Structure 1
Amino acid sequence: MEEQERDISDMDLQECPSMPENGLMLVINHSRVHPPLSVVLATVLYCAEFVTAAVLCSMYHKTDDVTWMGFTITFMLLPAVLIQLALTFIHRDLGRDRPLVLFLHLLLLGPVIRCFEALVVYFKAGKKEEPYVTISRKISLKKGQERPMEWEIGQSERNLATHRNAFKRTAVIQAFLGSAPQLTLQLYATIQEKYILPTRLALMIITLISITYGALVCSVLAIHIRYDDYKVRVRLAAYLCMIVWRGLEIATRITALVLFSTALTYWVILVGMVNLLFFFFLPWAEFWARKGSLPENVEKNFSKLGTTVVLCMITLLYACINIFCWSGVQLDLSHRELIERKQRWNRLAMYYCGRFIENFLLIALWYFFKSDFYEYVCAPLLGVQLLVCYSLAVLFMLLFYQFCHPCRRLFKYNVHDCLHCVCCRKGRGRAGRRGKPPLSYSTAATMVLAPEEPLDSQNAHPPDLTSQLGERETAILEDMMEAA
C-alpha cells in the first residue's frame, strides 16, 4: 500500500484547487501502476541459481565428487525451503483454499507462481474500476503548519505492494542463506581443484549478483524501516554508490575467507562459528540487559514459543548477513518493529574497523601458511589488493552516507561531523580559545531530528520530522524499488 504514493511538492499544492477550512486535503493517486520489476528480478535470480546448482550437482555426481555435491545440494535446498515458508507466511495461504499454490510451493516453485500472480495483477490494473482504501497521514506543508492529507490507493496497488515486500524478504534470504555460502564453497572448490569449470563459474557469477542485490535490498529496507513516516526516493547516484560499496565489500570478504580456508581448512570453521554466534547472541544479550518483553504483534495467533522461534529465525538471518557485510540495521527484539530507529554511528565504525582487522589477520595467516599452489601468484600483491578493495568499499560507504543518502538531512550527525570530531579535536580546541569555530557545512545541512529512544508501541506517535524542514524540503520522498 505504501509503494505507490506520490511526492508532496510545491507544484502539487499549487495544482490543488482549494483547501477546505478544516485543513483536510484529499489527494487521489491516479498515477500509472509501476511494473513489479523487483519481483521479476528476484524470481529470475532464484531460478537461475537453482537450475545452475542442479546442473553442477549432476556433474559432481558423474565425477564422484561426493563432498562438493553434498554441500552444493545443501546450499541449494536450504534457502529454497525457507523462501517457500516465508512466502506462505507473508501471503497467509495456510488459512485459504489454494491447493494448487501450496502444491507448487512443495515443488519449490512458489516464487514462480507468485511472480505470475504479480504480473497478472499488474496487467489487469486500471482495466476496471476498483475500490479504494483511504489512509491519512500528517504532512507539514509549511514550516509551523500541519494539515492531514488523505490518500486513496487501489486494491491492485495494495496487492502489488504485498508481492514486492514479500520478494524483498526472499531476496535477502536467498542472498545470505544460500548464495553467500554457495559462492564461498564454489570458489574454494575451484582453488582446490586448480581449474575453472564453466558451469561452476556461471554459478559463481549468479551468486555474486544475488548477494549484491540482496545487500542492496537490505540497505534500502533499513532506510525504509527507519524512516517509515516518509516515502524515500533513492537516486541513481545512490544506487551506483551502494552497488560498488556492497560489491567490493562482499567480494573481498569472501575472497579473504576462501584464501584462509585453503591454508588452514579447519580453522575457518572456528572463524565462521565465532562470527555467527557473536552476531546471533548480540541482540539477545541486549534484550536481556534491557529486561525487555517479547513483542506481541509479530503474529496475532502466535504463542510465546512461536514468537520466540520467529525471532530466532530473524536473528539467524541477521547474523548471516553480518558475517559477510554490514546489515544496515540493529535489532531491538523488545520493540514492535524489531528494528532500532536511531542511527548508531559507533556501531557502524566498530563493525568496519573490526572487519578490516579480521580480514587483515586472515590474509596474513594465509600468506604465512599458503600452499605451493600460490608459488606462481604474487601473494603480497594479492593481499594488498584485497585490503585496498575493502578500503574502497568503506570509502564508497562514507560517500553514500555523506552525499547520497536520501534522508541525510534528517541525521543528527553525519560522516563529516564524526570525522571532524575524531581527526580535528585538537584544532577545534585551539579555535575555541581564539574565537567561535566555523560552522560545519554538514551541520548546516542536517537537522537534529532523530529520537533518542525507540518509540513506545502504544502511547507514542512517530515524530513529524518534516515539521522543522523548509517548504521545499518536505518533498524528499517516495518509494524506489520499482527501479531495482
Structure 2
Amino acid sequence: METPLEETDEEGTGGVLSSEVEINLGRRSHPSFPFSVFLSTLLYSTEVAFALYMFFIYQKGNDIYWTSFTISFIIMGAIFDQITLLFFNKDSRNKVVLLFWHILLLGPIVRCLQTTVYYHKLLKYLTLEVEESRVSNPARNKILERKIVNSTRYILRQDNAFKCMTVVQAFVSSFPQLIFQIYVTLTIKELPWNRALLMTCCLLSAVYGAILCSILAIQISNDGTTIKLPPMELFYVIIWRFLEIISRAVALALFAASLKLKSLPFLLVIYFVSVLAPWLEFWKNGAHLPSSTENNSSVVGTVLVLIIITLLYAAINFSCWAAVKLQLSNEKIFDRRERWSHRIVHYSFQFLENVIMMFVFMFYRGEILLNCCYTLVAIHIIIIYLLGFSFMCLFYHYFYPRKSDKIL
C-alpha cells in the first residue's frame, strides 16, 4: 500500500530564493494560503469573461471599431499572461498537458488549482511531520523534509509568478481596456451594467498591479527581503494608487474622446519617451551589456529580453509611477536606491501631461461629451491626481518600511 511519504515532488524551483524557503519553513506550523495567486486568477478570469461578453455585444451591434479594440486588449493581455507563467515554471511533469491549457488561455486557472493542491499537500506533510517527530525514523523524516521543502518552493514560485503576471495583465491589458471603455461611454453617453462591470474589473486589476509594483519595489530596495505592510501603510498605498490610476485613465479617455485620432501622436510620444529614456542612459554609460547576461546567453537574446522589459516598464510609467528605476547597464536591472529625484521628475512630467490634456479637453469641443461644466471636470481630475501624489509623499516620508519589525 502506497503511503503519502512515497510521493515525489521533484519539479524545479526557478525564481525562488533559498532565503524565502527558509523564512517560510521557520513559520511552517501555520502556513498561510497564497491568496495573491487566487486574487490574480479571479481578476484574470472575471476581466476576460466580461470583456468577451462586451465583445459579443459590440459584435451584435456591428460596431467593428469597438469590437476590434476590445478583443485585441483581451488577447494581448492573455497571451502575455501565459508567457509570464511559462517563464517562471520549468515544468518537468505534465509539460504537454500544461502547455495545452496555456494555449487555451486557461493556464492561470490550472496553475491556481495546482497551487491549492500543493498547499493542501503541505498541510498534510506538516501534520505527518508532527506525528513522525514522536517516532525516530531518520529515513522517513528526511523524505518528509524534502517534500515540505519542495511544496514550499512550488507555492513560493507560483506566488512570485502570479504577482508578475498581475503586473503584466494590469498594464498591458487592463489599463488600456479601461481607457477604451471610458472612451466608448463618453462617445455614446451611456453606461450599461455590463460595461460598468468590465470597467470595474479593469480598474481593480490596474490598481492591484500598481500596488504590487510598489511592494516589489520595496522588496528590491531591501535586497529581495519579503515584506509585510501593516494595515495603515497598506491603506495609504491603496488610496495613492487608486487616485493615481483613476485620474490618469479619465484624463487619457477625455483627451482621446476630444481629439479622436488626432490624439494618437501625442500619446505615442509620451509612451516612446519612456521607452527610449533607459536606452539613452544605457548608451550614455558606454553601451555595455550586463556582464552576467553576456556570459549566460547570446547578445541577441539578451537585447530582446531587455527590449521586452523596457516596453513593459514604459507601459507602467505611461499609466502610473513604476516605483523603480530601470538601469539596463546594471546587472541588477533595477536601481535599489531610493531616489526622490526620480519620483519628482516622473510626477512633474505626468502632471504636465495631464494639465495639457485637460486644457485640450476644455477648449477643443468637437462634440459635446458631458452634460456638465468642462472646466469643473478638468479641475477635479487635476485635484484627484495631486491628492494621489500627496498620499505617495506621506507614505514614503512617514510609512515606508525601514524598520526590521516590518520586514519578515
Gap change, CA 1:374 and 1:105, over 3 Å in 2: closer
| Aligned residue in 2 for 1:21 | none
| Aligned residue in 2 for 1:278 | 273
> Any conservation in 2 of the 1:4–1:33 contact (CA below 8 Å)?
no
Could you tell me how far 1:97 is from its partner in structure 2? 5.2
What amino acid is the match of 1:127? Answer: K
CA distance in 2, matches of 1:6, 1:73: 42
Normalised to the residue count of structure 2, the TM-score between the two structures is 0.87
Question: Residue 365 in 1 paired to residue 352 in 2?
Answer: no
Identity %: 36
Question: 314-323 vs 297-306, which deviates more?
Answer: 297-306
CA distance in 2, matches of 1:311, 1:378: 45
Question: Residue 105 in 1 paired to residue 105 in 2?
Answer: no
Question: 153-162 vs 362-371, which deviates more?
Answer: 153-162
Question: Residue 214 in 1 paired to residue 214 in 2?
Answer: no
| Aligned residue in 1 for 2:53 | 55
Among candidates 247, 250, 258, match of residue 253 of structure 2: 258
Gap change, CA 1:88 and 1:231, over 3 Å in 2: closer
CA distance in 2, matches of 1:476, 1:69: 47
> Any conservation in 2 of the 1:75–1:178 contact (CA below 8 Å)?
yes
> Any conservation in 2 of the 1:49–1:207 contact (CA below 8 Å)?
yes
Could you tell me how far 1:267 is from its partner in structure 2? 2.9
5+ residue gaps, structure 2, are 1-16, 130-142
CA distance in 1, matches of 2:157, 2:93: 16
Gap change, CA 1:6 and 1:106, over 3 Å in 2: closer
| Aligned residue in 2 for 1:477 | 407
Among candidates 184, 191, 195, match of residue 190 of structure 2: 195
| Alpha-carbon displacement from aligned partner over 1:115-140 (angstroms, at most 9, x marks no partner) | 0111011111032256658xxxxxxx
CA distance in 2, matches of 1:348, 1:31: 41
| Aligned residue in 2 for 1:315 | 310
Could you tell me how far 1:297 is from its partner in structure 2? 4.5
What amino acid is the match of 1:98? Answer: K
What amino acid is the match of 1:214? Answer: G
| Alpha-carbon displacement from aligned partner over 1:12-31 (angstroms, at most 9, x marks no partner) | xxxxxxxxxxxxxxx94443
CA distance in 2, matches of 1:276, 1:164: 30
What amino acid is the match of 2:85? Answer: L
**Which protein is richer in helix relative to its size?**
2
| Aligned residue in 1 for 2:71 | 73
Among candidates 104, 121, 126, match of residue 123 of structure 2: 126
CA distance in 1, matches of 2:361, 2:333: 39
Normalised to the residue count of structure 1, the TM-score between the two structures is 0.74
> Any conservation in 2 of the 1:260–1:362 contact (CA below 8 Å)?
yes
Among candidates 36, 59, 66, match of residue 38 of structure 1: 36
5+ residue gaps, structure 1, are 8-26, 134-152, 408-472, 479-484
Gap change, CA 1:229 and 1:195, over 3 Å in 2: closer
CA distance in 1, matches of 2:242, 2:57: 29
Gap change, CA 1:475 and 1:6, over 3 Å in 2: farther
CA distance in 1, matches of 2:56, 2:93: 37
Q: RMSD value over aligned CA atoms?
A: 2.2
| Aligned residue in 2 for 1:330 | 325
Gap change, CA 1:294 and 1:185, over 3 Å in 2: same
Gap change, CA 1:37 and 1:157, over 3 Å in 2: same
Higher relative contact order (CA 8 A, sep 6+): 1
Q: Is the radius of gyration larger for structure 1 or structure 2? A: 1
Gap change, CA 1:5 and 1:275, over 3 Å in 2: farther
The count of residues paired between Structure 1 and Structure 2 equals 375
| Alpha-carbon displacement from aligned partner over 1:228-266 (angstroms, at most 9, x marks no partner) | 264422111111111111111111111111111121112
